[in-house]
Structure 1
């Protein structure tokens, strides 16, 4: 058993999610893959840092993230701050020879993300980006169908990630609406999850032609305030896409999608079959194969079970539902295992760079109103 001493930077909802998931990974997989030790937590708000320190048993806290990345007793720097701070913290952590686990996006530019990927490779350190939907057993099952040729040649992909969490125009403005801190809007917040899943399943995207729109242009600076501030990034995005494997696609995302709560949905069509999946029915995958065709047969429902990678860590038999938070547990387990056992992992900084390059290309395409090659 090897201890992995964690320094957490950022104590919001995602910081707590990471911390809970480390504990769950220990419970589900055991100490042989590494025992998480909560060494230090940092937040610019002292009250928040103290609260998380007490909640998860961190040994120490600081208001300055530099204390975490330079501390000799920290092995892994876990970054869950707003987007704009990821690059600087990750870079300093790598320069101080720390493994890095960074919530997505890796940075606000593809250039910065590529720099971090190159630095991590040079240092030989674990470098992980938190695209938790990639860890979904359904995602890995669908990738296997594609890789094994069960769907034949991939011809078309369609997908969207829609929520209505920001539909109410009276919801106050936050860092997610400001380019300097968040970068893009729904594109980077929600769309990046869709792009990461399809990156894993289909491989590299080749080109995009996109439109973006900001529907709610002003938001109150605080609840019930008459003072407003300009929303600087996208509420809605839609694009045509080309993949290196020849597939073409229509992809979209909206953070003001009336009635949609967590609608990450996609369909991949091939010459021998089609697969459809939506996160709002998390444990169901719908598949169709031409070899099974008859006058009375269409799509069939596949329930997640023990033969789908990752599922058996949570449930003993097929058809028993697993939950969204379980993806994060699989993710933190992979982080621990990569540090203690040197096991391979999917969402490294180069993977993060590829997703950030897609986002950058979409923004460029929308501005130029033309195709942009990735």
Structure 2
């Protein structure tokens, strides 16, 4: 066991989640000791308070202080999307290991640069797609790879929230393309795309359509002056996989009544699996063989409760049916990252980040061209 000195850029909610996850990974898995060396944020009062509360030795308002500090082994980037490329590139140039929240960057071109640099530098390069570490998604991957669902034919999926349904919510960086890259597509759909990259492989081509439901928002709460919303409130696109699977993926950030509706259905010739993140510890599975045995009299979807037999679950709960949550996925993420520092394989690298951003780029291109575009 050794010490891993961490420099965090971004003293917000996600920075707190990352810090807590590293601490929990040490306590649960016996991973290397995280040393919270330095944290950076543009708001001096906020970063000072964050450092004191979360146990960081030092704080700064200049993120380059973290990049250039010889004490720091791992640069943890938990900032808005538009800052990821510059910060990750600088960290790579200084030979640092990197944990970067998704998306990797705002464009497929930038993400490809980072993925290629990471290979050249041979450092740990982890992109923070949280749902990859969800034991339910790992179970679905194993189920499909086992062949129990037969040949996979189709995927149907959506990720819906209503967090931006209120038109009085002021304009924010998520609404502006130069800061966010896209709307619901990059913010929410990217989570589905990362899981399907792991489970189903590479997408070949896409065609999409989008909608801006609330075209203008107040520049500040309570003010009448409005600013234009530049990106999608709703996105829908068709997909064709290189292995022949077809499907549709949607997302909405104005979906009335939906809070965290990360839902997908994957259909195979021998069975179908359904998952909804709002019921995080339940997976619905239908096996055609059940119907074949009794002529369909008692057939139907069965509910599989996550339990210690499923990858990752056993570290948090001793028996099935006991809930785990978002923070547990982040802890599994931190553990995987710590293991990667010792040479263990991991899937959420910058290459995956570049592939997801390549799909997003193809969807945006198809919306403009109104035709199928290659990923």
Q: What is the TM-score when the length of structure 1 is the normalising length? A: 0.98
Q: 2:119 & 2:27 partners in 1: Cα distance?
A: 31
Pick from 262, 265, 269: which aligns with 1:264? 262
Question: C-alpha displacement at 1:111, in angstroms?
Answer: 1.1
Question: C-alpha displacement at 1:70, in angstroms?
Answer: 0.6
Match of 1:207 in 2: 205
Q: 1:179 & 1:76 partners in 2: Cα distance?
A: 29
Question: C-alpha displacement at 1:332, in angstroms?
Answer: 0.8
Question: Deviation digits for residues 310-368 of structure 1, max 9, x if unmatched?
Answer: 001100111111112111110011111111x2111110000000000010001000111
Match of 1:346 in 2: 347
Q: 1:37 & 1:245 partners in 2: Cα distance?
A: 44
Contact 1:163 1:261 in 2 (8 A): yes
Match of 1:366 in 2: 367
Q: 1:104 & 1:52 partners in 2: Cα distance?
A: 22
Contact 1:154 1:245 in 2 (8 A): no
Matches for 1:174-253 after TM superposition, within 5 Å: 174-253=172-251
Matches for 1:125-204 after TM superposition, within 5 Å: 125-204=123-202
Paired residue secondary structure (2:170): coil
Paired residue secondary structure (2:249): strand
Match of 1:304 in 2: 306
Match of 2:97 in 1: 99
Where does the alignment leave 5 or more consecutive residues of structure 1 unmatched?
none
Contact 1:42 1:68 in 2 (8 A): yes
Q: 2:172 & 2:28 partners in 1: Cα distance?
A: 36
Q: 1:107 & 1:299 partners in 2: Cα distance?
A: 39
Paired residue secondary structure (2:344): coil
Match of 1:27 in 2: 27
Question: C-alpha displacement at 1:12, in angstroms?
Answer: 1.3
Paired residue secondary structure (1:251): strand
Where does the alignment leave 5 or more consecutive residues of structure 2 unmatched?
none
Paired residue secondary structure (1:258): coil
Match of 1:113 in 2: 111
Q: 2:50 & 2:201 partners in 1: Cα distance?
A: 38
Matched, 1:83 2:81: yes
Matches for 1:270-281 after TM superposition, within 5 Å: 270-281=268-279
Q: 1:227 & 1:50 partners in 2: Cα distance?
A: 34
Question: C-alpha displacement at 1:21, in angstroms?
Answer: 1.1
Runs of 4+, deviation exceeding 2 Å = none
Q: 1:320 & 1:289 partners in 2: Cα distance?
A: 25
Q: How many residues align?
A: 371
Paired residue secondary structure (2:263): strand
Match of 1:60 in 2: 58
Match of 1:332 in 2: 334
Question: C-alpha displacement at 1:46, in angstroms?
Answer: 0.6
Question: C-alpha displacement at 1:373, in angstroms?
Answer: 1.2
Match of 2:14 in 1: 14
Q: 2:171 & 2:3 partners in 1: Cα distance?
A: 41
Paired residue secondary structure (2:235): strand
Paired residue secondary structure (1:264): strand
Question: Deviation digits for residues 40-89 of structure 1, max 9, x if unmatched?
Answer: 10011111110111011111111111110110000000001110110010
Question: C-alpha displacement at 1:24, in angstroms?
Answer: 1.3
Match of 2:49 in 1: 51
Contact 1:136 1:327 in 2 (8 A): yes
Q: What is the TM-score when the length of structure 2 is the normalising length? A: 0.98
Paired residue secondary structure (1:158): strand
Question: Deviation digits for residues 107-158 of structure 1, max 9, x if unmatched?
Answer: 0111111111111111110000000001000000000111111111111100
